[in-house]
């Protein structure tokens, strides 16, 4: 990663982070490396370096002025995932890191997860394996206009999905308390899962950093656990249920 010429007027400053983001974008790693901005990054002087461990994990180390940055890459389900790591304390090993995987693709095995539904009950994606197809309907927030319209539409078409052996799971970063109130208000019949820590949206590569929520996206998982359809919508465009239904085999 070429970071030559970047300046850091103040460690951890907004200008430093923006410069680093531009560099990441320039080398084509946007969406694969997430920049974090928590606290001071420390004063330990790491020389620029790149090395690879026998198991395939590699680290790239460099400094901007006296700010150390480490990029770590490893494999998750056979795919490369990069972590951008900063050392916030001089001489210490307190590491703050954030992982964002690449966006999932058709043909992938859907990453498993367990989230709470609107009743606070834990729901695991793997519990449907061999039994049901699963529509993961990621959406930004409860109570917002487009999210309200499309979730009402999903409930209206629920019988069509059930007729094809398919369950619908709405997924957003709201709490399960919000989900419960919203579901009761709208009379929704499908389950809503709470990705409050943003872990699932990040695992699926569907985290929208600018709004701290998931993208509006549909991931259709068949009974074998494989992704057979995926579509990411514009944030203000509702999904097309017939398009999803036609993809169910």
pLDDT tens profile 149-198 = 999 999 999 999 999 999 999 999 999 999 999 999 999 999 999 999 99
pLDDT given for residue 80 in this prediction: 53
Question: Is the pLDDT score of 16 beyond 60?
Answer: no
Q: Name the active-site residue from 8, 147, 173, 213.
A: 147
pLDDT given for residue 3 in this prediction: 33
Taking residues 216-230, report their average pLDDT: 97
Burial of 219 from C-beta contacts in 10 A (0-12 / 13-18 / 19+):
buried
Most confident of 20-34, 148-162, 207-221: 148-162
pLDDT tens profile 64-80 = 445 555 555 555 555 55
Identify the CA nearest to 91 among candidates 68, 72, 71: 68
Question: Is the pLDDT score of 35 beyond 70?
Answer: no
Letter string b/e over residues 18-29, b meaning 16 or more CB atoms within 10 A of that residue's CB: ebbeebbeeeee
Question: Where in the chain are the domains?
Answer: 14-99, 114-247
pLDDT given for residue 236 in this prediction: 87
Query: pTM for the whole thing?
Result: 0.63
pLDDT given for residue 149 in this prediction: 95
pLDDT category at 241 given cuts 50, 70, 90 is very high
Q: How far apart are CA 132 and CA 109, in angstroms?
A: 15
Half-sphere exposure of 34 (CA within 13 A, CB side): 21
Task: Please give the residue that has the higher pLDDT: either 184 or 24.
Answer: 184
Task: Please give the residue that has the higher pLDDT: either 70 or 59.
Answer: 70
Taking residues 195-202, report their average pLDDT: 92
pLDDT given for residue 211 in this prediction: 81
Residue 8 is a catalytic residue:
no
pLDDT given for residue 53 in this prediction: 41
May I ask the CATH architecture of the domain 114-247?
Answer: 3-Layer(aba) Sandwich (3.40)
Task: Please give the residue that has the higher pLDDT: either 214 or 76.
Answer: 214
């Amino acid at each position: 990663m070429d970071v030559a010429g970047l300046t850091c007027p103040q460690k951890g400053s907004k200008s430093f982070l923006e410069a680093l983001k531009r560099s990441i974008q320039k080398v084509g790693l946007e969406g694969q490396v997430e920049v974090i901005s928590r606290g001071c990054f420390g004063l330990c002087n790491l020389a620029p370096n790149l090395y690879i461990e026998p198991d395939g994990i590699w680290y790239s180390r460099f400094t901007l002025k006296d700010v150390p940055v480490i990029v770590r890459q490893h494999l998750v389900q056979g795919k490369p995932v990069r972590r951008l790591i900063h050392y916030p304390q001089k001489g210490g090993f307190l590491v703050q890191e954030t992982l964002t995987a690449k966006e999932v693709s058709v043909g992938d095995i859907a990453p498993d997860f367990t989230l709470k539904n609107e009743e606070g009950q834990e729901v695991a994606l793997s519990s449907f394996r061999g039994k049901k197809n699963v529509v993961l309907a990621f959406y930004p927030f409860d109570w917002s206009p487009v999210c309200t319209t499309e979730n009402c539409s999903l409930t209206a078409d629920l019988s069509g999905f059930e007729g094809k052996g398919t369950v619908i799971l709405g997924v957003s970063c709201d709490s399960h308390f919000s989900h419960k109130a919203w579901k009761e208000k709208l009379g929704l019949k499908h389950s809503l899962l709470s990705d409050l820590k943003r872990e699932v949206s990040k695992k699926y590569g569907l985290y929208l950093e600018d709004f701290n929520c998931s993208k509006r996206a549909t991931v259709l998982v068949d009974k074998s656990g494989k992704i057979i359809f995926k579509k990411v919508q514009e944030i203000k465009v509702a999904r097309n249920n017939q398009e999803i239904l036609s993809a169910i085999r």
